[in-house]
Amino acid sequence: MKARICSAFITLLVVSSVAHAQGQITGADVAQAVKDNNRFALELYGNLAGQDGNVFLSPYSISTALAMTYGSAKGATAREMAKTLHYTLPNDKLHAVFGALIRMQNDPEGNRAYKLSVANRLWAQPGEDLRDDFLQLIKKNYAGGLQEIDFQKADKARNTITTGWRRRPVARSRTSFHRAPSTPLRGWY
């Protein structure tokens, strides 16, 4: 039997201090968003688990990227995305909760023995007309910015994206994990 690996970064904390600092969301809003994200994560994993090979994915990363995308969706697209992602909060609260969770995980006060950096960015083809309200929503709630990149030059675009990520200053851990999986991993990271 092949092992199944699911890296599900599912936050199970309800942080009322984060909610109170936001002023517009409550602990109940955070709890609801976490519940909705857990439902999406478990459903996603359930759909992938029946396939051959190992599965490695980050439901939190996928959910965050799709929440950013959802911030620009309108009409039928927004309704279908909300249904698929199991969103039950109104738009303004949903994005504020994602922002609160990102700030909580990034731990700006340095209260943890480890460092986790959640980073988001929009990549757009030069000349694309993205709405200002959408860009502000991403900046405010997801700590993300916009960078134009020419996707017609795929190799250069890929190198720009990955090189920029690798050059970010990161505190190196004293602990390393070098055990290779017994079978190749596939899926999202």
Q: What is the pLDDT of residues 82-99, one digit of tens each?
A: 999 999 999 889 999 999
Over its C-alpha atoms, the chain yields an Rg (Å, rounded) of 18
93 in Cβ contact with 74 (< 8 Å): no
**pTM recorded for the entire structure:** 0.71
Q: Which domain holds residue 155?
A: 16-108+117-172
For 69-85, letters b (16+ CB in 10 Å) and e give ebbbbeeeeeeeebeeb
CATH classification at residue 48? 3.30.497.10
Position 71 in a domain: yes
Position 68 in a domain: yes
The reported pLDDT for the residue numbered 162 is: 79
Q: How many domains does the chain have?
A: 1
Q: Which residue has the tokens 């795929």?
A: 154
How many angstroms separate the CA atoms of 26 and 175, rounded?
37
Position 133 in a domain: yes
Position 148 in a domain: yes
Position 1 in a domain: no
Position 36 in a domain: yes
122 in Cβ contact with 138 (< 8 Å): yes
Position 187 in a domain: no
pLDDT band at 188 (very low <50, low <70, confident <90, very high): very low
